[in-house]
Amino acid sequence: MRRVLPLLFLVLPAVLSAQTGSLSDRVAEVMARPAFRHAMFGVKVAALEGDTVLYSVNPDKLFVPGSTTKLVTTGTALGAFGSDFRFRTRVYRTGPVKAGVLTGDLILVASGDPNLSHRIRGDSLLFVDEDHSYGSDPATDVIPGDPLMVMREMAGQIKGHGIRRITGQVRVDVSLFQVNERELGTGVMLSPIVVNDNIVDLVIAPGDKAGAPATITASPATGYLRVVNRVVTVADSAAPVSILTDSLTPGGTRVVILTGRKLAGKPAELLTYKLAEPDRFAAWGLTQALRDAGVTITSPRPGGWAARTSTAEGIVVAEHVSPPFREAAKVILKVSQNLHASLLPYTVGALKGKEPTPQGGFDYENTFLKNAGLELSGAVQSDGAGGAALYTPNFMVAFLTWMSRQPYAADYVHALPILGTDGTLVKISRGTPAAGHVFAKTGTFVSEDKLNRGLVVDGKGLAGYVTTRSGRRLVFAIYINRVKLADPAQVGEVVGQAAGDIAAAIYDTVP
């Protein structure tokens, strides 16, 4: 099993700021720790002004970067689309409307917008520091509100066009790009239509006493998913809640059976159901929103996939315009949103490249990076989130330096997690002098070691920008690869701590 993990999971104690010694001495101390006997380190630190290299070790070796890959993926998309770009998701009608009756279908055309959800707050996108897509982690949370808010917005527009009854079906056109696979890190299905991150959030709480069934709340609640609850409340001996079976009915509804045991008196937990058919889920969502708005749909269930050619003679009856792309970049980088990052090569290929495929997106990225004057012998990439990539510290520092000089640089830096403040760095180094002065992307990539019943950290990364005590602006990349561990908790305690210690040393020692 190989996993792209979103969090750095490290804690920087305040005593680190009191350490003395040069940056070279401090990094050497970290690398000499027993846990890293077989490991490989790559570090580079440079000044943004003047490009002075302040420290480096193995700067030209390729390293597994984990989710620091998202720095390049998102930076390329910012260059391709611009900070102000907005996705436009439209609904077409395919027939005439007479006396409030639409004789025909409604077709929702996917635009590649990854945020058809309740993240939207005016022209901004809200995020929680530990995103719901990592629902197996007890620290994850959901954003308050209605996940169907965009569907309801469009349903209101459709009704505003005088449509009160639809003789056909709600269908979804996903021909922007074709994909039928799940992204590596969270197992969420990739698709050009993304409603609630292609997830149904299942909040599971114990009943009021032992023997009572647990309560399960699905959000959003639509005809797409029916949950059979076999989770019971117990006084002791809890068992994890899991999906026992998942099946598709002839009527187009998924039926899942949940099983497990919840301890009485314990808090609710979040289980994320990853959609098998995002297009069908979106159709059910818009159908639900229309019915809630008082629009009658004759068909008992949404229709299937619709070809883009079917919209050629259609008339737009609803349009959702997204917040600017700088906000989408913020969601990806702040919380390490794997689905959104994994979709970007598809979206860039479809909207800016020569073909609507990941290869089209990577071909665009190749040209983009070459035009930036970057040496691509130090970069390997085959996905958007960090499951298949290699970078040298030299490449990453050169890329971040170039990004810092672009017109959208401020939006890029603003989208990064801030040490001790938010995103995947929210719990790290709180209360230390470095907090608030490091803007960086985390990354973790882990594999099983079945031979030793342990695991190996293929890649731990931290890359971004530091503003020193004196106000000097630095750029850095830290990579730690090939660390054998016995316990998953050691990923943060040992390897994450090491990356954090080096970042703290950069802040502490560079004048």
Which pLDDT score is estimated for 150?
Answer: 98
Which pLDDT score is estimated for 158?
Answer: 98
- 3-state SS of 30-93 is HHCCHHHCCCEEEEEEEECCCCCEEEEECCCCCECCHHHHHHHHHHHHHHHHCCCCCCEEEEEE
Residue 414 lies in a domain: yes
3 pLDDT more than 60? no
Which pLDDT score is estimated for 139?
Answer: 65
Which pLDDT score is estimated for 304?
Answer: 66
Residues 196 and 297 grouped into a single domain: yes
3 state DSSP class of 350: helix
Of residues 301 and 499, more confidently modeled: 499
466 pLDDT more than 50? yes
Task: Tell which residue, 300, 314, 320, 297, has the closest CA to residue 164.
Answer: 297
Could you read off the pLDDT of 431-450 as tens digits, one per residue? 778 888 999 999 999 999 99
Q: 289: which 2 tokens?
A: 């929103």
Residues 486 and 390 grouped into a single domain: yes
Which pLDDT score is estimated for 313?
Answer: 57
Mean pLDDT of 340-351: 97
Residues 111 and 62 grouped into a single domain: no
Residues 231 and 179 grouped into a single domain: yes
Cβ-contact 223, 287 below 8 angstroms? yes
Q: 420: which 2 tokens?
A: 């001790």
Residue 342 lies in a domain: no
Q: 508: which 2 tokens?
A: 């502490």
Residue 76 lies in a domain: no
Residues 122 and 26 grouped into a single domain: no
Distances (CA, A) of 195 to 163, 177, 339, 399: 24, 16, 12, 32
**Strand 124-125 to 379-381 pairing:** unpaired
Residue 350 lies in a domain: no
Could you read off the pLDDT of 311-330 as tens digits, one per residue? 555 799 999 999 999 999 99
CA distance 276 to 132: 17
Which pLDDT score is estimated for 431?
Answer: 77
Which pLDDT score is estimated for 13?
Answer: 38
The CATH number of residue 259's host domain is: 3.50.80.20
Most confident of 131-145, 299-313, 356-370: 356-370
Which pLDDT score is estimated for 59?
Answer: 97
Could you read off the pLDDT of 218-253 as tens digits, one per residue? 999 999 999 999 999 999 888 899 999 999 998 889
The rounded percent of the chain whose pLDDT value lies above 90 is 75
Residues 102 and 57 grouped into a single domain: no
95 pLDDT more than 50? yes
341 pLDDT more than 60? yes
Residue carrying the six token digits 């050169």: 398
Mean pLDDT of 190-209: 95
Range of the domain at 458: 2-67+380-509
End-to-end Cα distance, the chain: 43
Which pLDDT score is estimated for 215?
Answer: 95
The CATH number of residue 481's host domain is: 3.40.710.10
Which pLDDT score is estimated for 20?
Answer: 61
Angle 358-371/338-351 helices, nearest 10 degrees? 80
Which pLDDT score is estimated for 15?
Answer: 36
Residue 252, CB half-sphere, CA atoms under 13 Å: how many?
Answer: 20
Which pLDDT score is estimated for 6?
Answer: 44
CA distance 405 to 124: 24
Of residues 276 and 134, more confidently modeled: 276
Tally of domains in the chain: 2
Which pLDDT score is estimated for 423?
Answer: 86
Residues 33 and 152 grouped into a single domain: no
Mean pLDDT of 461-480: 94
Residues 43 and 128 grouped into a single domain: no
Residues 196 and 293 grouped into a single domain: yes
Mean pLDDT of 66-79: 97
8 pLDDT more than 70? no
Which pLDDT score is estimated for 19?
Answer: 56
Which pLDDT score is estimated for 308?
Answer: 58
Q: What is the pTM of this model?
A: 0.92
Residue 276 lies in a domain: yes
Residues 28 and 117 grouped into a single domain: no
Residue 368 lies in a domain: no
- Boundary of a domain, candidates 272, 298, 321: 321
Which pLDDT score is estimated for 18?
Answer: 44
Residues 92 and 63 grouped into a single domain: no
Residue 495 lies in a domain: yes
Distances (CA, A) of 366 to 10, 134, 147: 34, 30, 36
Mean pLDDT of the chain: 90
Handedness of CA 171, 176, 181, 184 (dihedral sign): negative
Mean pLDDT of 35-47: 97
Residue 102 lies in a domain: yes
CA distance 483 to 452: 13
Residues 442 and 403 grouped into a single domain: yes
310 pLDDT more than 70? no
